[in-house]
Amino acid sequence: MTAVERAVATPPAQVAEAGGLSSKGLSAGSLGLVGSVAIGVSTIAPAYTLSGALGPTASAVGEQLPAIFLVGFLPMLLVALGYRHLNRAMPDAGTTFTWGSRAFGPWIGWMGGWGLLASTILVLSNLAGIAVDFLYLLLAQLTGNDSLADLTRNVPVNIATCLAFMAVACWIAYRGMEATKVVQYVLVVFQVVVLLWFAIAAYAHVAAGTAFEGLQIRPEWFNPLEVDSFSAFAAGVSLSVFVYWGWDVVLTMNEETKGTRTTPGKAATTTIFVIVALYLAVALAVLSFSGTGAAGLGLGAEGIGENVFAGLAGPVMGPAAMLMSLAVLSSSAASLQSTIISPARTMLAMGHYGALSPKYTRITPRYRSPGYATVAAAVIASVFYAVMRVVSEDVLWDTITALGMMVCFYYGITALACVWYFRKEAFRSAGTFLGKILAPGVGGLLLLVFFVQTSVDSMDPAFGSGSEIGGVGLVFVLGVGVLALGVVVMLVERARRPAFFRGVTLPRADSTEPTVDAL
């Protein structure tokens, strides 16, 4: 029997009998720092994210758009530091699930894992839908036949195309990290090049005096104190959830990364810094070119704010504008493929430690990837999209709005797990206190406060599409409903797999206890 076969065949109760963590048979050493960062950037999907986020954010905070990007960046960085220390101490593909279970016990760990799974499933369905929209928009631009863009509103065509995108993404992810990183290199480089092209072209228009507004960059744009209200600061935290979310995928690949204990943490912080630099470059370019007015090409104008690149790519890039449509399409397609990584490896870990069916521990012999879990994630996301698309497009968008609640929930749990796991060594040094206690503690509390605030706000139907059930906003019903469903599934699994919930297969521990692993 090979080492991989032994790792897959070993019962969960045995692999963790010494209180440690263990290998799950994945393809070790498949990724380096560059490959990890490429997949991290891909999952965040900057072209897709900026296209929809720039307008609404500018309408809320005006010329302080760059400042609010920096405000949103801070809690993500603080939480990422917690992830980095946890990964160094306990490198495991289960991340939130594993670390939450080790720090707080099986119940909180299981729900943290559920929050990650639910979030990624929601995002997968949305990314597939966006890919469909931009595919038909691109075809309309290439052929000059505007009616092709309307095909995305044809529900059977939309669902069929979406399922095709999902199937291709699943196939690439199934083939393991080698196939994944090659695809990501191409798609990530392309979208970053087009975004920088757009930014440089916008700056050139400003310098030449041909920009719509032609504003010069001013220091107050970077001053968050210039933001008019506290609600705008809250919008900054909210924005961080949507525009920076996805960097943690690099941690779920830790068992497949060279330098298992160190490289994923470096990749996470590097990814966030790369993204904030890219966001600032594009935000400043758009703000300088367009301004925030409600007329013409201003960010507040109708048809611009809803999809910034669709409205500004032509005036800024000229004949090359269709490259931006292709960039957004490739961004959503690349993120669709890379986002599958997180739920697949989380389900693998949950199965490995006895919190889910052992079926999820199946590793493909050829590619050494979590084949069963990868297919399961794609199937669940596909079914969810198809059902929601038939019910209502508004329902689908409300589920994405509810995503923020779940992301804050599991990010917050993970950050506070860092604080609790390292609590006994908090005062060994100033660096330990700042990096392992204060930074993740502040970041985690911020996100959990936002989780509570969003839950309260979303009870109002006006928070989302306006849909309601019994007078309660659909965003609240969906967000709380998905978490409540997690509790139900957890109780079912508790009856079927009591060993995990008794702390046998993944016992609680802290940083002062030795960790035995087989990585």
Calpha distance 446→237 (Å, rounded):
8
Element (H, E) at 140: helix 106-143
Spatial separation of the C-alpha atoms in residues 391 and 37, rounded to whole Å? 37
Domain assignment of residue 161, yes or no:
yes
| pLDDT per position as a tens digit, 154-176 | 989 999 998 999 999 899 889 88
Q: Does residue 19 belong to any structural domain of this protein?
A: no
Query: Length of the chain, please?
Result: 519
**pLDDT at residue 91, as a whole number:** 92
Coil/strand/helix, residue 302? coil
Q: What residues contact 391, with CB distance under 8 A and at least 6 apart?
A: none
- With cut-offs at 50, 70 and 90, classify the pLDDT of residue 2: very low
Residues 438, 418: contact at Cβ < 8 Å?
no
Instruction: Give the CATH number, domain containing residue 156.
Output: 1.20.1740.10
Weakest mean pLDDT among 38-52, 182-196, 234-248, 361-375: 234-248
Look at residue 518 and tell me if it is in a domain. no
Q: pTM for the full model? A: 0.87
**Residue 442 and residue 422: Cα distance in Å, rounded?**
15
> Which residues have a Cβ under 8 Å from the Cβ of 186 and sit 6 or more positions away?
none
Looking at 169-183, 351-365, 461-475, 478-492, which range is the least confident one?
A: 461-475
Residue 31: per-residue pLDDT: 87
| Over residues 414-425, mean pLDDT | 96
**511 within a domain of the structure (yes/no):** no
Quote the CA–CA distance of 83 and 92 in Å, as a whole number: 11
Give 23's pLDDT tier (boundaries 50, 70, 90): confident
Q: Could you tell me if residue 139 is inside a domain?
A: yes
Nearest-angstrom CA–CA distance, 192 and 134: 17
Say if 281 falls within a structural domain: yes
Mean pLDDT, residues 458-478: 80
- What's the pLDDT tens digit per position in 337-384? 888 999 999 999 999 999 999 999 999 998 899 999 999 999 999 998
Confidence band (pLDDT; 50, 70, 90) for 11?
very low
How many structural domains compose the chain? 1
| Predicted pLDDT of residue 514 | 61
Report the percentage of the chain scoring pLDDT > 90.
Answer: 47
Residue 149 is assigned to a structural domain of this protein: yes
Structural domain includes residue 514? no
The domain in which residue 427 lies consists of: 33-504
Residue closest to 12 by CA, chosen among 502, 414, 413, 340: 502
